[in-house]
Amino acid sequence: MCELAKRITVPVTMDFMSVSSYGDGTQSSGIVKIAKDLDESLEGKDVIVVEDIVDSGRTLYYLLDILRKRGPKSMKLCTLLDKPDRRVRDVHVDYVGFNIPDEFVVIPMDAILIQQVLINILENAVQHAKGMVHLGLKVFLVADKAVFEVQDDGCGIPEEKLKSVFYGSHEAYEVSSDCKRSNAGIGLAVCATIIKAHGGKIKAENKKNGGALFRFYLDMEEKEQA
């Protein structure tokens, strides 16, 4: 929400709700509880409901019905992550960051730090992948590891910089007048440090059809210290 707020360029007010239907399990129970309601009225306002992840749609179906009855002028739904294969209620998402597979994955990690890694990699693409049209995030499992992939279809990384991209450099990646990744290594060096501290691996490569791909691996189970 903080990253979204930084990029909103029109006057807005923000309010928060705490809603849950999971209880003590990992699957939605369908019984929705409102722990905290809104403080402001929605009547006559253009409203965007922002979620971190949408899967079954049970919670949001109930929530959106309640909010519509409060008289907003318009209402849209935005989510960072969407699991369309999990949908059991008809919930339309207007703005989707990324689609992810139908898997409930528990990974031993510092969630805040891994979130920052993803933000750094995504922001690097937005700022420096000239010519980019598509930006994708994919999470999947390979054996005992969780794999995170971020790929774009921009200008790619100069071949001579690929091996040092995670070491942090203040040099601009001059490649052409319309394709430059400037100071990308600064944030990526932080990413590499965080992933290494988790016992994982991170790498970058250029795709054959154009663009760059960043991939890092995390163990699904904590390893015992020797």
Active site residues per annotation: 55
- Specify the DSSP class assigned to residue 99: E
DSSP β-ladder status, 201-206 and 179-182: unpaired
Rounded Cα–Cα distance for residues 7 and 33 (Å): 31
DSSP β-ladder status, 74-82 and 46-54: parallel
User: Quick check: 196 and 186 in contact, CB under 8 A?
Assistant: no
User: Quick check: 1 and 12 in contact, CB under 8 A?
Assistant: no
Can you state the percent helix, strand and coil of the chain, rounding each to 5?
A: 25, 30, 45
From 37, 24, 26, 28, select the one nearest 63 (Cα to Cα). 37
Rounded Cα–Cα distance for residues 223 and 226 (Å): 9
Q: How many CB atoms lie within 10 A of CB 202?
A: 22
Distance from chain centroid for Cα 164: 25
